[in-house]
């Protein structure tokens, strides 16, 4: 069973009196431990696909299955619980909470899951060490560089050991050197931990690092190319 499966998925948005098809009959499968990217220009449907896989939106037609479970049949509370337990998110704008420290931001998902404070601190300490940001635990986001904030966001995404991490344009606000360092780091986390990574990006730096490139155009599958690890 694939980890993620989209079966003839379409998503139509109503814009005034017009309907806009963001996705049209998209079918694809993502296996566990993949390091893949949804690639394409703005408007190709890659972020829409990521939002559907992340249970942040529902398809107009077709089915989105994760571990065999049909997300379209789940109630909002069930979807929220499923996201909390199974999906980690990395955003291009980092989405850190300004009033919290780096460690508190990274612990946030674990806190929502009800993990004890000592367990949260120990896990975040290990992740910060793995991500090369030990010593920054007590800094607020405003006191961190873009690359450091994105590493905190990666720690938050990984803290609860999700089945899949979804990263929406994660290098968009980073300089070339920082972007390359973070992509190398995420590939290492994928290899060492078996964490599934699925990106949406039009950044050649991301596309060149992916082991599988799924190209979308005008909401349709254009090409699906796998690369050797």
Any domain includes 141: yes
Any domain includes 188: yes
| Whole-angstrom distance, CA of residue 20 vs CA of residue 11 | 8
Any domain includes 64: no
* Tokens linked to 16: 């005034």
Chain Cα centroid distance, residue 103: 20
pLDDT of residue 127: 92
* Tokens linked to 188: 């290492």
Question: Average pLDDT for residues 185-213, to the nearest whole number?
Answer: 92
Sign of CA dihedral 190, 193, 195, 200: negative
Any domain includes 27: no
| Whole-angstrom distance, CA of residue 92 vs CA of residue 112 | 23
Any domain includes 23: no
pLDDT at position 73 over 90:
no
Query: 40 lies in which domain range?
Result: 32-58+75-226
User: Which residue has 């995420």 as its token pair?
Assistant: 186
Q: What's the mean pLDDT when you consider all of the chain?
A: 93
pLDDT of residue 193: 87
The residues, any chain, with a CB within 8 Å of residue 58's CB and separated by 6 or more, are 52, 71, 72
| Whole-angstrom distance, CA of residue 63 vs CA of residue 12 | 14
Per-residue model confidence as pLDDT tens digits over 127-140: 999 899 999 999 99
Is residue 108 a contact partner of residue 156, using CB atoms and an 8 Å limit?
A: yes
Beta strands in 40-194 (DSSP E): 61-66, 69-70, 87-91, 164-168
Question: Average pLDDT for residues 3-18, to the nearest whole number?
Answer: 94
CATH code, domain with 166: 3.40.50.300
* Tokens linked to 41: 């220009």
Sign of CA dihedral 138, 96, 143, 154: positive
pLDDT at position 203 over 50:
yes
| Whole-angstrom distance, CA of residue 15 vs CA of residue 169 | 24
pLDDT of residue 116: 97
| Whole-angstrom distance, CA of residue 27 vs CA of residue 61 | 12
Question: Average pLDDT for residues 25-53, to the nearest whole number?
Answer: 96
Any domain includes 124: yes
Per-residue model confidence as pLDDT tens digits over 144-175: 999 999 999 999 999 999 999 999 999 988 88
Question: Average pLDDT for residues 63-78, to the nearest whole number?
Answer: 92
Say how many domains are in the chain: 1
């Amino acid at each position: 069973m694939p980890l993620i499966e989209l079966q003839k998925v379409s998503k139509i948005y109503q814009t005034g009196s017009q309907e806009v098809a963001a996705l049209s009959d998209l079918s694809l499968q993502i296996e566990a431990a993949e390091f893949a990217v949804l690639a394409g220009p703005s408007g190709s449907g890659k972020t829409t696909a990521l939002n559907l896989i992340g249970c942040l939106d529902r398809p107009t037609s077709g089915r989105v299955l994760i571990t065999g479970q049909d997300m379209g049949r789940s109630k909002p509370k069930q979807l929220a619980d499923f996201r909390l337990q199974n999906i980690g998110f990395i955003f291009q704008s980092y989405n850190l909470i300004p009033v919290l420290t780096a460690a508190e931001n990274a612990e946030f998902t674990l806190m929502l899951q009800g993990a004890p404070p000592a367990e949260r601190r120990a896990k975040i300490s290990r992740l910060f060490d793995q991500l090369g940001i030990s010593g920054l635990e007590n800094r607020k986001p405003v006191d961190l560089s873009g690359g450091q904030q994105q590493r905190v966001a990666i720690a938050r995404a990984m803290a609860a050991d999700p089945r899949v991490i979804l990263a929406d344009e994660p290098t968009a606000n980073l300089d070339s050197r920082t972007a390359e360092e973070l992509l190398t780091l995420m590939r290492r986390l994928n290899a060492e931990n078996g964490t599934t990574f699925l990106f949406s990006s039009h950044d050649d730096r991301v596309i060149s690092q992916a082991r599988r490139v799924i190209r979308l155009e005008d909401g349709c599958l254009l090409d699906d190319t796998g690369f050797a690890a």
